[in-house]
Structure formats: C-alpha cells, structure tokens
C-alpha cells in the first residue's frame, strides 16, 4: 500500500543534542512538507520541498534543517539551536499544486 | 490576523444531530479548501475538499464555500460518537502550501 512512513514514533532528545526524524513516501509525490503541532495550535510549516535537491523555509524554520536527496525521502533534523523542540512533528506529501496533503503518522519529540 | 480562523470549541452535539463547523480565511486569492479530521494523538486525515462556490456532499459530510465572504463550513449530519475529533480547516492560496486553522474539537454525546 502507498503511504508515508515516519520514524520513530516517539523520540527523546537531551539538551544540546541534534536528532533526525525520518520521512519516507512511496506515493510518487513531488512535494513534501514538515509541520509542527503544539497543543491547542494549528499546524505550522517548518520546511517544504517541491522537487529533489530543492527546499524552502516555512514559517518556523529556525533551529531545523532538511535535505531532499531522493524523491521518496525528506528527513528533518532538529538541532540544538531549536530551544523548544517538544512537539508533534508531521510529515506530508502532495502530488502537485492542487491536491490535498497525505500525512504520515507523526513523531512525538520530547526533550528530557 | 491569523490566515485561517476556526472556533476552537469544544462543540458538543447529541448523537444523530447536525454538527456545524465554520472557518474564515484572510487571503481572497485562496483557491482550494480542505477539511481534515484528527483523532487525539493521531495525524490528520483528509475528509473533504472544495474548490468552487456552493455545496459539496460526500456521505454524511457537506462542505460549503462562499468565496465572497471568505467563509467555508463543514456540516456533519447524523453525528456519531466516532465523529468525535478535532476538525482542521486548511486553505491553499496562490502558492501550493496549505495554511491550517487551529481546529474545532467536536464531541458527540451518545
């Protein structure tokens, strides 16, 4: 079945540590996105990518980095510069400019 | 001003009733509109999309769009306990990114 796989489901980060969240899709979608969701808030866009080897900052990119070396993969690194990383992270993809998003199951990141 | 606004709720309706959810958006150039359902602790799932003014029906769900008023709504008929969730309104403007509202939490009372 086609879909988006995010891993791990739960992740714990120590202060000063970088962590990488995985996102893989087999939908042959061109565009991929990373959102962050905090309790009581909507989804906020971190980074997005329209095509391989190209990505743009979203509304809250500070403290995060991404790469898009393959069409299927769009990993997100939460760096130590992100001061409040505890949140639910959602990866999504879309076939083009007009369709809705398909979401992965999310990664819940907690700072310990 | 937030780009996409929704009443946060909670909206409590009895089983079998109609739940009405509202969403307003600020960008008059917005082209397409989506409703997602999100159960607690889970990721959003697409339930409806609408591009043109008017109503669009899919099973127990009806989406209504009024571009002049910059308003989109979702009606859930014959509400069931399984409809209890948070409903996110999403709007796409001239670029292809979606802007999301904070969501309306719906509780269906058995």
Q: Name the B residues in 63-82 with CB < 8 Å from any A CB.
A: none
Map A19-30 to HEC letters: EEEEEEECCCCC
- Work out the average pLDDT over A94-106: 85
State yes or no: pLDDT of A8 exceeds 80: yes
Helices (H), chain A: none
Distance CA A73, CA A92 (A): 11
- pLDDT band of residue B2 (cuts 50, 70, 90) is low
Question: Is there a contact between A43 and B34 if contact means CB atoms under 8 Å apart?
Answer: no
- Work out the average pLDDT over A15-36: 94
pLDDT at A70: 96
Per CB-CB distance under 8 Å, the chain B contacts of A57 are: none
| Position with higher pLDDT, B7 vs B89 | B89
Q: Which residues contact A81 (CB under 8 A, 6 or more apart)?
A: A62, A63
Of the residues A25, A27, A35, A42, the best mutation for testing chain B's interface (the one with the most B CB atoms within 10 Å of its CB) is A42
Question: Is there a contact between B4 and A105 if contact means CB atoms under 8 Å apart?
Answer: no
Distance CA B52, CA B62 (A): 13
Per CB-CB distance under 8 Å, the chain B contacts of A106 are: 42-43
State yes or no: pLDDT of A98 exceeds 70: no
């Amino acid at each position: 079945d086609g879909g988006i796989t995010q891993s791990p489901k739960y992740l714990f980060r120590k202060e000063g540590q970088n962590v990488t969240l995985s996102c893989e899709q087999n939908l042959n979608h061109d565009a991929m996105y990373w959102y962050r969701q905090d309790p009581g808030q909507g989804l906020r866009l971190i980074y997005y990518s329209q095509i391989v080897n190209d990505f743009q900052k979203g509304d809250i990119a500070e403290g995060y980095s991404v790469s898009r070396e393959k069409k299927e993969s769009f990993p997100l690194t939460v760096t130590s510069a992100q001061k409040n990383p505890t949140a639910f992270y959602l990866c999504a993809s879309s076939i083009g400019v007009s369709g809705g998003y398909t979401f992965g199951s999310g990664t819940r990141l907690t700072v310990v | 001003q937030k780009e996409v606004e929704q009443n946060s709720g909670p909206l409590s309706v009895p089983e079998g009733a109609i739940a009405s959810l509202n969403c307003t958006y600020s960008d008059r150039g917005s082209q397409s509109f989506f409703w997602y359902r999100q159960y607690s602790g889970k990721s959003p799932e697409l339930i409806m999309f609408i591009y043109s003014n008017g109503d669009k029906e899919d099973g127990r769900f009806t989406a209504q769009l009024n571009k002049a008023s910059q308003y989109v709504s979702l009606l859930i008929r014959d509400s069931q306990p399984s409809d209890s969730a948070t409903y996110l309104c999403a709007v796409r403007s001239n670029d292809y990114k979606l802007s999301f509202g904070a969501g309306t939490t719906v509780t269906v009372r058995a």
